[in-house]
Amino acid sequence: MAVSIDGARVLVTGANRGLGRVFAESLLARGAAVVYAGARDPAAEVSPEAVPIKLDITSPDDVAAAAARCADIDVLINNAGIMRLAPVLAAPDMDSARAEMDTNYFGTLRMCRAFAPVLAANGGGALVNVLSIVSWFANPQNSSYCASKSAAWALTNAARIELRRQGTLVTGVFAGVIDTEMGAAFAGLPKVSPQRVVDQALDGIEAGAEEVLCDERTRSVKAALPHDLTEIYPAHQARWDAAHPG
């Protein structure tokens, strides 16, 4: 179910900065007919050639309005997300976990539910969820975010099953630390450029790929899943213990 970008009409969430802005600009450069740039703040600056859309994916009203306004799209890119850098148990409360789950899982789910019939009406198209390397493991310093991305990974796989019959390509995009404002919190880790992630994601859509793994670290972690308890977690355990002696 390959989908061409040239001539496509696309909605990108979280399109005012970081990875989302690169998505919008790259889609236009590849010949997309229309790119709707969703942002929570209606005054946010988006790519000049994009069509700005007020869109907070945690707001049912915003999502419903976007589905009505963008009823012509054939590609949806669910890029919007938040990260609070909180552990699941040592955090002072559950506020960060709730906020991350509300945006990264429930917000993405809300977008998928609202736009699945739109994509069906327009011939199937593509639904793209921007996920993460931490969909597959829990970094204890950031584990509530990891949980939300694991949930979004499960959502992506389930949506693929439900939407296959209507001809919609469902693609999960996975990357390690991306060199954006969000990625700045991880100074000691290798970073992948947002342009590289976007290029691979758009190539994947055009090739009909159901998963796009954007860097070597991501590919290594996915390959290690059968042995994650022995290959992935000991190093994270050591870092946690060093940071929390006693």
Taking only the tens of pLDDT, the chain with its 246 residues reads 899 999 999 999 999 999 999 999 999 999 999 999 999 998 888 889 999 999 999 999 999 999 999 999 999 999 999 999 999 999 999 999 999 999 999 999 999 999 999 999 999 999 999 999 999 999 998 999 999 999 999 999 999 999 999 999 999 999 999 998 888 888 888 899 999 999 999 999 999 999 999 999 999 999 999 998 999 999 989 989 999 886
In-domain check, residue 44: yes
Residue 65 and residue 40 in contact, taking contact as beta carbons nearer than 8 Å: no
In-domain check, residue 2: no
Listed residue (139, 154, 114, 112) closest to 233, CA to CA: 139
In-domain check, residue 229: yes
Cα distances (Å, whole numbers) of residue 202 to 16, 94, 142, 181, 192: 18, 36, 28, 22, 16
CA-to-CA distance for 100 and 96, rounded, in angstroms? 6
In-domain check, residue 156: yes
User: pTM to 2 decimals?
Assistant: 0.94
Tell me, what CATH number does 143's domain have? 3.40.50.720
Q: Which of 36, 105, 145, 233 is catalytic?
A: 145
DSSP assignments along 122-148, one per residue: TT--EEEEE--GGGSS--GGGHHHHHH
In-domain check, residue 1: no
In-domain check, residue 3: no
In-domain check, residue 4: no
* Domain count along the chain: 1
For tokens 């552990």, name the residue. 87
In-domain check, residue 147: yes
- Judge whether 145 counts as a catalytic residue: yes
CA-to-CA distance for 82 and 117, rounded, in angstroms? 26
Show the domain range for 153: 9-243
Instruction: Please count the other Cβ atoms lying within 10 Å of the Cβ belonging to residue 9.
Output: 19
